[in-house]
């Protein structure tokens, strides 16, 4: 029955995906983050629904007069294109074309293409808001589902595997939820309807419980970074940090001892086998970078070349086939596998997004009626902070959500700057005292309408 429902749901929306490519992007995101197909048990689980939706969506964009812009003309879009090309060069130079390499690079290319298309099709505040809601509700669904199990079992139930796709690994699942917490909090804080506010505020601790159930130390650090960033950007930092401290104390008293021991092992790296393996992998990555600094050992080549750089294996490539060697660090992963240029481009995407969001915040702070821009900026910054911290301990250089998130930041920056350029809608705060500023009434989605006039005495 579930397979039939999923099949009819997706097939029924395909005509709309063709007529309105943005609908296709919403359906694609729903399949990517909520994993509807993985909630079924039969034939629908094996069908590549996202692939078919993407084909119909791009075909619709090709014939559409309105949505024919395939990507925004913004510098980060060109950085993503260049990064994809550099990673491709690393594949060619390495000369390895196994299934893991070709399939992995194909998937990476799909991620970049979808991200670029997102920047071209998310052209309004309403579209941006809807797409964020879809991603947030997808993570909220899994948080609520797993959180209830965690409460019933008193945290004893451990999540070994995520729902599927890019969220299959428990560490990836924890990182995605950590990035989703700022989305859930942002929607809860800005929503005017009481029932929805309560729902999204409930989903925040449920997401934290779900992350705890994965026993992912990288996920724990990622949600910690997101929470600290949100508290820092809060209107009352003292109250925010106090609430956060109380939540941490309550969590420490309620979580099972096995999870507490797992988290405390972060500092006891000399006694923890996993931490020692991680430090060793970082050393191996360093040797790879020193030997092949320009284009690395090749895309997905870390595990293939690990034995050659491991002194414990005496240069042999024969090893336990069940043992998987990864870099355990997103930055060292892309540096060792794809080279220094790819690593620099990767950092440019991260810190360039932070820099751009800071500039938007500064611009919005000087205008009236720009609170939605400040709130969105804080949300994007907190999610990126979660990824930056989590990426230090997780092998997620090619994480789908990161590149899609950068694309959403690009779309947001274009929309915010375009709206802030209208001085009648967002008048500057520097107008002299006592002067009346005529502001036309306009609709702002669910937030409400602005007043017709304002003086320079307040926001």
pLDDT of 448 reads: 39
Task: Decide: helix, strand or coil at residue 285.
Answer: helix
CA distance 393 to 386: 12
- Mean pLDDT across the stretch 216-229? 91
Q: Which residue has the higher pLDDT, 313 or 106?
A: 106
Percent of the chain having pLDDT more than 90?
Answer: 51
Q: Could you tell me if 223 and 386 are in contact, meaning their C-beta atoms sit under 8 angstroms apart?
A: yes
- Mean pLDDT across the stretch 90-109? 89
Residue 233 has pLDDT above 70, yes or no: yes
- Residue 144 neighbours by CB under 8 Å, 6+ apart: 202, 203, 206
CA distance 43 to 20: 28
Residue 318 has pLDDT above 50, yes or no: no
- Mean pLDDT across the stretch 84-90? 94
- Mean pLDDT across the stretch 339-346? 96
CA distance 332 to 338: 10
Residue 181 has pLDDT above 90, yes or no: yes
pLDDT of 444 reads: 43
Residue 192 has pLDDT above 80, yes or no: yes
Residue 165 has pLDDT above 90, yes or no: no
Residue 268 has pLDDT above 70, yes or no: no
Q: How many CA atoms lie within 13 A of 220 on its CB side?
A: 18
pLDDT of 313 reads: 55
Length of the chain as a residue count: 459
CA distance 443 to 128: 16
Question: What average pLDDT is seen over the chain?
Answer: 85
- Mean pLDDT across the stretch 426-439? 59
Region of residue 134 (phi > 0: left; psi between -120 and 50: alpha; otherwise: beta): alpha
Q: Among 45-59, 80-94, 240-254, which is the least confidently predicted range?
A: 240-254
Residue 26 has pLDDT above 90, yes or no: yes
Q: What DSSP letter does each residue of 173-220 carry, written as one string? A: HHHHHHHHHHHHHHHHHH--SHHHHHHHHHHHHHHHHHHHHHT-HHHH
Q: What are the CA-CA distances from residue 366 to residues 370, 381, 419, 429, 431 (Å)? A: 9, 19, 13, 6, 11
Q: Which stretch of DSSP H or E encloses residue 437?
A: strand 437-438
What is the band of 184 on the pLDDT scale with cuts at 50, 70, 90? Answer: very high
Task: Decide: helix, strand or coil at residue 107.
Answer: helix
CA distance 316 to 180: 43
- Residue 146 neighbours by CB under 8 Å, 6+ apart: 159, 206, 209, 210, 213
**Token pair for 89:** 């060069």
- Mean pLDDT across the stretch 380-401? 92
What is the band of 66 on the pLDDT scale with cuts at 50, 70, 90? Answer: low
CA distance 392 to 329: 5
Q: Could you tell me if 399 and 387 are in contact, meaning their C-beta atoms sit under 8 angstroms apart?
A: yes
Say what the pTM is: 0.87
CA distance 55 to 155: 42
Q: Which residue has the higher pLDDT, 88 or 66?
A: 88
Q: What are the CA-CA distances from residue 401 to residues 91, 135, 172 (Å)? A: 23, 10, 10
């Amino acid at each position: 029955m579930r397979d039939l429902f999923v099949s009819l749901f997706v097939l029924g929306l395909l005509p709309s995906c063709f007529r309105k490519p943005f609908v296709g992007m919403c359906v694609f995101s729903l399949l990517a983050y909520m994993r509807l197909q993985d909630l079924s048990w039969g034939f629908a689980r094996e069908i590549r629904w996202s692939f078919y939706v993407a084909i119909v969506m791009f075909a619709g964009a090709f014939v559409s007069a309105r949505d024919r812009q395939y990507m925004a003309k913004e510098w980060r879009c060109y950085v993503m294109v260049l990064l994809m090309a550099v990673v491709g060069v690393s594949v060619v130079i390495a000369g390895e074309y196994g299934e893991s390499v070709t399939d992995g690079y194909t998937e990476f290319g799909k991620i970049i293409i979808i991200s670029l298309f997102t920047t071209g099709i998310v052209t309004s505040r309403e579209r941006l808001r809807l797409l964020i809601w879809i991603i947030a509700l997808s993570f909220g669904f899994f948080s609520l589902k797993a959180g209830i199990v965690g409460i019933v079992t008193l945290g004893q139930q451990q999540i070994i595997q995520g729902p599927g796709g890019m969220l299959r690994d428990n560490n990836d699942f924890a990182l995605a939820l950590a990035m989703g917490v700022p989305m859930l909090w942002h929607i809860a804080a800005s929503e005017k309807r009481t029932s929805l506010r309560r729902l999204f505020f409930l989903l925040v601790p449920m997401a934290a419980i779900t992350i705890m159930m994965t026993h992912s130390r990288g996920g724990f650090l990622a949600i910690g970074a997101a929470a600290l960033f949100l508290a820092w950007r809060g209107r009352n930092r003292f109250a925010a940090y106090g609430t956060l401290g109380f939540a941490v104390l309550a969590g420490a008293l309620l979580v099972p001892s096995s999870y507490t021991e797992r988290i405390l092992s972060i500092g006891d790296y000399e006694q923890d086998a996993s931490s020692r393996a991680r430090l060793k992998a970082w050393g191996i990555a360093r040797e790879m970078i020193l030997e092949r600094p320009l284009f690395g050992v090749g895309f997905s080549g870390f595990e293939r070349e690990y034995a050659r750089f491991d002194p414990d294996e005496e240069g042999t490539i024969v090893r336990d086939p069940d043992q998987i060697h990864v870099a355990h660090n997103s930055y060292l992963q892309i540096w060792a596998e794809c080279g220094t240029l790819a690593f620099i481009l990767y950092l440019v995407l991260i810190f360039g997004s932070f820099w751009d969001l800071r500039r938007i915040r500064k611009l919005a702070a000087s205008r009236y009626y720009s609170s939605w821009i400040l709130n969105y900026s804080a949300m994007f910054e907190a999610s990126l902070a979660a990824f930056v911290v989590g990426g230090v301990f997780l092998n997620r250089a090619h994480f789908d959500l990161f590149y899609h998130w950068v694309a959403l930041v690009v779309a947001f920056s274009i929309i915010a700057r375009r709206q802030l350029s209208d001085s009648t809608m967002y008048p500057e705060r520097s107008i002299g005292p006592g002067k009346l500023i005529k502001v036309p009434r306009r609709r702002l989605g669910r937030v409400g309408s602005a007043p017709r006039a304002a003086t320079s005495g307040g926001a």
